[in-house]
C-alpha cells in the first residue's frame, strides 16, 4: 500500500505529469472557447433565403399574415423580399417596415419587390401589416 501511495505522490510531482495536466487544461479551455464562439443552433441562415447574384432573395406570401414569419439572413448584403399576394383581402395587403420608412400597398394578387439595404450583424427588422398585428421578423447574422 505504502509503496503504491509513494509512487502516486512521486508521479504527481513529476514534471511530465504537471506538463500533461496543464496541457489538458489549456486544450480543454481552447475547445470550450471554440464551441462557445460558434453560433448556437437556430441561428443559421434560413432555407428560404436564395442567393441571386449580389442579392439574397426571400419569397414571402402575404395572406392572413406573412409566411414565413421569421427569416434569418446574411448581414451586410442586399436583401430583396418578393412579397406575393393571392386574392389577399385582409390587412396583410399592406407591407410596412417602419424603421426603413417602407410602406407598400400590395395588389390583390401579384408580386411586389421590397429592397432592404445591408444591415449590421445582429440587427433585427420587423415588417408588419397595415394594422401592425401581423409580423415578419428579419434577423441578420
The residue ranges that bind Cu ion (CB under 5 A) are 91, 129, 131, 133-134
CB of 52 to Cu ion, least distance (A): 29
Find out whether 57 and 68 touch, Cβ atoms under 8 Å: no
Which residue, 58 or 136, is less far from Cu ion as judged by CB? 136
CB of 53 to Cu ion, least distance (A): 33
C-alpha distances in Å from residue 21, one per residue of 8, 14, 48, 124: 15, 11, 47, 44
CB of 123 to Cu ion, least distance (A): 24
DSSP 118: -
Strands 78-85 and 55-62: parallel
Which residue, 73 or 136, is less far from Cu ion as judged by CB? 136
Which residue, 73 or 97, is less far from Cu ion as judged by CB? 97
Amino acid at each position: 500500500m505504502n509503496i503504491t501511495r509513494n509512487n502516486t505522490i512521486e508521479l504527481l510531482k513529476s514534471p511530465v505529469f504537471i506538463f500533461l495536466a496543464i496541457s489538458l487544461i489549456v486544450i480543454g479551455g481552447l475547445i470550450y472557447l471554440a464551441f462557445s464562439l460558434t453560433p448556437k443552433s437556430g441561428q443559421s441562415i434560413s432555407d428560404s433565403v436564395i442567393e441571386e447574384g449580389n442579392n439574397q432573395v426571400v419569397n414571402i406570401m402575404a395572406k392572413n399574415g406573412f409566411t414565413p414569419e421569421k427569416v434569418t439572413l446574411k448581414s451586410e448584403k442586399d436583401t430583396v423580399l418578393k412579397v406575393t399576394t393571392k386574392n389577399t383581402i385582409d390587412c396583410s395587403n399592406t407591407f410596412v417596415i417602419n424603421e426603413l420608412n417602407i410602406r407598400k400597398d400590395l395588389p390583390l394578387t401579384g408580386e411586389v419587390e421590397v429592397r432592404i439595404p445591408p444591415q449590421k450583424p445582429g440587427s433585427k427588422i420587423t415588417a408588419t401589416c397595415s394594422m401592425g398585428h401581423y409580423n415578419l421578423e428579419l434577423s441578420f447574422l
